[in-house]
Structure 1
Amino acid sequence: MSNTSDPIRGFEAERTDRISGYGDQRGWQASSLDWLKTAFDRKYMYNFAWGGRPIIQLPTDMAVFQEIVWATRPDLIIETGIAHGGSLVMSASLLAMLDYCDAVESGGVVDPKTAGRRVLGIDIDIRAHNRQAIEAHPMSTKIDMFEGSSIEEPMIRRVHDHARTFERVLVCLDSNHTHDHVLAELNAYASLASRDSYCLVFDTVIEDLPEGTFPDRPWAPGNNAKTAVHEFLKTHPEFEIDQEINNKLLISAAPDGWLKRVK
């Protein structure tokens, strides 16, 4: 029922009630999964850019990521997997928006070179042309990049040392999507996510797509990011799947991957 005394609260209550029913819409969910199968076959998610850099994400996931950043207001976003750098640029631009809004509210100014919010990208192989393009981008003033395996102990220590001076941390895992690799990343980095923030795990949808969808990759149904998420959650009650996000997206590469830290 809507709250007529506060139109926004009424709108939000109606939205929550509407979304809660999506989980029972089996036909709609099946249609969405069929659409996603075709999208992966046709490389639909390769069609988009953020700030001029290719971003291999679904637009729906990008929209919800923006909602999470706005709600959690992190001062550090950690991302495993860099590719062309579009996701780093998106994260940096959203943090710059938060900087700007803080300045407006306080009556101050923003100096892009000294604003404290940062993005950290980690990749086992940052190709020279991608590094050059990212470093030439105006948002590079907010971006740091570490090259090396995300699951090797020296890198894990380096990332934890880097994160130590930040108060609100958001973690995004989007590199190698095999079960063992994602589980290792979860064990290495999920604890860095602040309470009421998130550890986001992408490409969990692999579990729901037909065998053979990724013939040239080591991940497949039974061996992927979603199986790792559910294994991780068995022993980490401090995280829960955000079911409202999980239900409302329908078109997403990250079903069950929206992990909110609740403890």
Structure 2
Amino acid sequence: MMSEAVIEFKQNRSMTIVELGGDRSLNEFGIEFVKNTAKYKYSYNYDWLGRPIIQFPQDIVAVQELIWQVKPDLIIETGIAHGGSLVLSASILALLDYADAAGRGETLDPTSPKRKVLGLDIDIRAHNRAALEAHPMRSRIEMIEGSSIAPDVVARVQERAKSAERIMVFLDSNHTHAHVLAELEAYAPLVSRDSYCVVFDTVVEDLPDDFFPDRPWGKGDNPKTAVWQYLKSHPEFEIDKSIENKLLITVAPDGYLKRIG
């Protein structure tokens, strides 16, 4: 049980987060930060346990909070790149397993973990695969190479999900509207109640029209527009605005989707 002091602390924090969400100038600053740091590839500056993660630090913190809160036994991620996000998920899942074992007074066998992360990518580069297969978190990482929306890949993931009790999903591959919407249709239904489907790079919708001249996505055709369309027919999900409100700087505004039904 939480002490009264902790309860009061969390209540005060919740009120502050609401106030942050209502501060228009601060929220505009967050978008400006994303826009002005993009030319320096700011999100490329960080590693997680030795692997490049290509995420903003604020979103990294939010993800670890959600994993610890939800306690999933399977996380499905689209988009692998260097594998830092897989390693982040795997490391928090490892801590959850260790905490469970300690609570039972048992010793955890790290070679047969309960909780795992499944990564999907259309092209898993050989050097990235080798690095992940040699990483201390390797026993918790599974990978499938192929398009995340290809029927055979979707079928393999759905079959894998049957053995999981609590599932969380992170979507971070091709950022076009059509691709993300197809990912949502395929993988969001696997998300457990009170768990999350996090859709990254929804911030594309908030950036200038000409911001991605060499990419097939842009304003009006991106993860956020896919989220908006998906939510129109899926009331079992809602946007958890409290997360982006407290982060202020995030690549996933309107992208933290909580399953409520």
* Deviation per residue, 1:96-118 (Å, 9 max, x gap): 01011111111111111112111
Which residue does 2:82 correspond to in 1? 84
Question: CA separation in 2, counterparts of 1:70 and 1:142?
Answer: 16
Partner-residue secondary structure (3-state), 1:138 = coil
Q: Which runs of 5+ in 2 are unaligned?
A: none
* Deviation per residue, 1:26-71 (Å, 9 max, x gap): 1111112111101212100000000100000000000010110011
RMSD across aligned positions (CA) = 0.9
Kept in 2, the 8 Å contact 1:245–1:258? The answer is yes
Which residue does 2:190 correspond to in 1? 192
| Deviant stretches of 4+, over 3 Å | none
For the pair 1:68 / 2:75, whether they are aligned, the reply is no
Which residue does 2:258 correspond to in 1? 260
Which residue does 1:7 correspond to in 2? 5
Which moves more between the two structures, 75-84 or 106-115?
106-115
Kept in 2, the 8 Å contact 1:200–1:258? The answer is yes
Which residue does 1:239 correspond to in 2? 237
Partner-residue secondary structure (3-state), 1:21 = helix
Which residue does 1:201 correspond to in 2? 199
Question: CA separation in 1, counterparts of 2:199 and 2:70?
Answer: 17
Tell me the CA shift for residue 221 of structure 1.
Answer: 0.7
Match of 1:128 among 126, 129, 134: 126
Tell me the CA shift for residue 23 of structure 1.
Answer: 2.2
TM-score by length of 1: 0.97
Question: CA separation in 2, counterparts of 1:163 and 1:195?
Answer: 14
Question: CA separation in 1, counterparts of 2:112 and 2:135?
Answer: 17
Which residue does 1:211 correspond to in 2? 209
Which moves more between the two structures, 24-33 or 146-155?
24-33
Letter in 2 for 1:86: G
Which moves more between the two structures, 5-14 or 194-203?
5-14
Tell me the CA shift for residue 246 of structure 1.
Answer: 2.4
**1:1-263 alignment runs, 5 A limit:** 6-263=4-261
Question: CA separation in 2, counterparts of 1:24 and 1:92?
Answer: 35
Question: CA separation in 1, counterparts of 2:197 and 2:24?
Answer: 27
Question: CA separation in 1, counterparts of 2:125 and 2:115?
Answer: 25
Question: CA separation in 1, counterparts of 2:169 and 2:30?
Answer: 27
Tell me the CA shift for residue 25 of structure 1.
Answer: 0.9
Kept in 2, the 8 Å contact 1:238–1:261? The answer is yes
Question: CA separation in 2, counterparts of 1:75 and 1:40?
Answer: 34
Kept in 2, the 8 Å contact 1:122–1:150? The answer is yes
Kept in 1, the 8 Å contact 2:21–2:242? The answer is no
TM-score by length of 2: 0.98
- How many equivalent pairs are there? 259
What is the percentage of aligned positions where both structures have the same residue?
58
Question: CA separation in 2, counterparts of 1:93 and 1:28?
Answer: 32
Question: CA separation in 1, counterparts of 2:223 and 2:75?
Answer: 20
Kept in 2, the 8 Å contact 1:121–1:146? The answer is yes
Partner-residue secondary structure (3-state), 1:77 = strand
Kept in 2, the 8 Å contact 1:41–1:213? The answer is no
Kept in 2, the 8 Å contact 1:78–1:120? The answer is yes
